[in-house]
């Protein structure tokens, strides 16, 4: 199953619960979209996936996902490691639970995205 998720045709990524959460998983579609590799991705604070002007809205959505356990149809602007902007749509964000049922992170999945023109 791990291999199937890694090569899936949708973007899947997650972060932990650190004070400044660090990405801890991204499948191949996520690595390609964020124009990065596994080592760089898994050292990146997840807030850096959004531009500074988008980070507050992103944080609010993550808080809503925690309160509800899951949100669907999320839409937001993100930025690659190299600075290229893109819009994600119809994303699902949910809390990740460990074997004991305790919250250990958050994950996102989406298939719909498009590159945005530079300003």
Give the CATH number, domain containing residue 53.
3.30.450.20
Q: 51-78, pLDDT tens digit by residue? A: 999 999 999 999 999 999 899 999 999 9
Domain ranges, residue 27:
12-115
| Structural contact between residues 107 and 98, judged by C-beta atoms closer than 8 angstroms | no
Which pairs with CB-CB distance under 8 Å and at least 24 residues apart come from 85-90?
Answer: 85/51, 85/115, 85/116, 85/118, 86/33, 86/113, 86/114, 86/115, 86/116, 87/113, 87/114, 87/116, 88/11, 88/112, 88/113, 89/113
Q: Is residue 34 part of a domain?
A: yes
Q: Is residue 105 part of a domain?
A: yes
Q: Is residue 5 part of a domain?
A: no
Q: Is residue 7 part of a domain?
A: no
CA distances from 56 to 8, 48, 67, 88, 98 (A): 30, 12, 17, 16, 27
Q: How confident is the model at residue 119 (pLDDT cuts 50, 70, 90)?
A: low
Asked whether the predicted pLDDT for residue 118 surpasses 80, the reply is no
Q: Is residue 29 part of a domain?
A: yes
| Number of independent structural domains in the chain | 1
Q: How confident is the model at residue 117 (pLDDT cuts 50, 70, 90)?
A: confident
Global pTM exceeds 0.75: yes
């Amino acid at each position: 199953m791990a291999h199937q998720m890694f090569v899936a045709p949708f973007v899947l990524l997650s972060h932990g619960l650190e004070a400044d959460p660090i990405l801890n998983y991204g499948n191949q579609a996520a690595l390609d979209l964020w124009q990065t590799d596994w080592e760089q991705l898994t050292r990146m604070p997840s807030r850096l996936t959004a531009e500074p002007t988008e980070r507050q809205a992103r944080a609010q959505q993550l808080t809503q996902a925690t309160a509800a356990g899951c949100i669907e149809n999320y839409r937001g602007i993100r930025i690659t490691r190299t600075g290229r902007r893109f819009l994600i749509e119809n994303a699902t964000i949910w809390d990740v639970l460990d074997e004991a049922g305790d919250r250990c992170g958050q994950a996102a999945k989406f298939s719909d995205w498009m590159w945005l023109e530079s300003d």
